[in-house]
Amino acid sequence: MENALMIGLSRQLTLRREMDITANNIANANTPGFHVESLLLRSQDAPTAESQDGPPDLQYVDAWGIGRDFREGTLDFTGRSLDVALEGDGFFQVEGRDGEALYTRDGRFRIDQEGRLTAADGAPVLDDLGAPILIDANLGEVMITEDGALVQNNAQIARLGVYVFEDRAALEKSGNGRYSAGDAQADIATEYAVRQGYVETSNVQPILELTRMIETMRAYESVSRFLSQGEELSRKAIERLGRV
């Protein structure tokens, strides 16, 4: 019985983690560039409690990682000249607080007081050489071409840095819809299109996530009933042994 209870507890732990991930997906359903996540599970060998007629080993449930669906969200037209969206597998590059290069699909850009092109939270957007992009507002409106070139007064002033990763699974989440490269190699993207005046929406499908949440809650309740029944059986068995 102890083995069955341990299996049930291991499943409850993964269900709680799955519920947290699903809730985070729903919370970010309106976050531009957010990619839906899911929990990855595997079977884990573990020794059993000692018994003469029980199985030699058991398979426990173990959460070994988080999977991300990097499919594109829909493009939402905003009309803002500094809003851009990517078509393709690339990521924009921004500078983190510690100077580390971070990657994002959120193209809600603006110009700060120093004339730098920045993300919505003020992080500098980097060009294809890894340098901040400076814009002189006195030169007029900024046009952004499909290949990411920034043009003012019929002259190119910079080009957005757009990067791809052969192994996107190696990207590490860093918050605000951004990723650090980790062990992945960032390469200059070649097959992409920049859409000025658009923002990529989250690829979360709220109905599917709500359904998944309900299924997870039901599974958790089912495991809880199983554990309660197991505890009750153990209690009765001990009482009977005490009367022998």
Q: Is 103 exposed, middle or buried (0-12, 13-18, 19+ CB in 10 A)?
A: buried
Q: pLDDT tens-digit profile of 112-166?
A: 999 999 998 899 999 999 999 999 988 889 999 999 999 999 999 999 999 999 8
- Region for residue 33 given its phi and psi (left: phi exceeds 0; alpha: psi -120 to 50; beta: otherwise): left
What residues contact residue 239 under an 8 Å CB cut-off, 6+ apart? none
Q: Look at residue 63 in the predicted model and tell me its pLDDT.
A: 75
* Beta-strand pair 186-188/110-111: unpaired
Q: pLDDT tens-digit profile of 197-236?
A: 999 999 999 999 999 999 999 988 888 887 776 666 666 6
Q: pLDDT tens-digit profile of 40-72?
A: 877 666 655 555 555 556 666 777 788 899 999
Q: Look at residue 32 in the predicted model and tell me its pLDDT.
A: 92
Least confident of 88-92, 104-108, 140-144, 172-176: 172-176
Q: Look at residue 50 in the predicted model and tell me its pLDDT.
A: 56
* Beta-strand pair 91-95/155-159: unpaired
**Full-model pTM:** 0.79
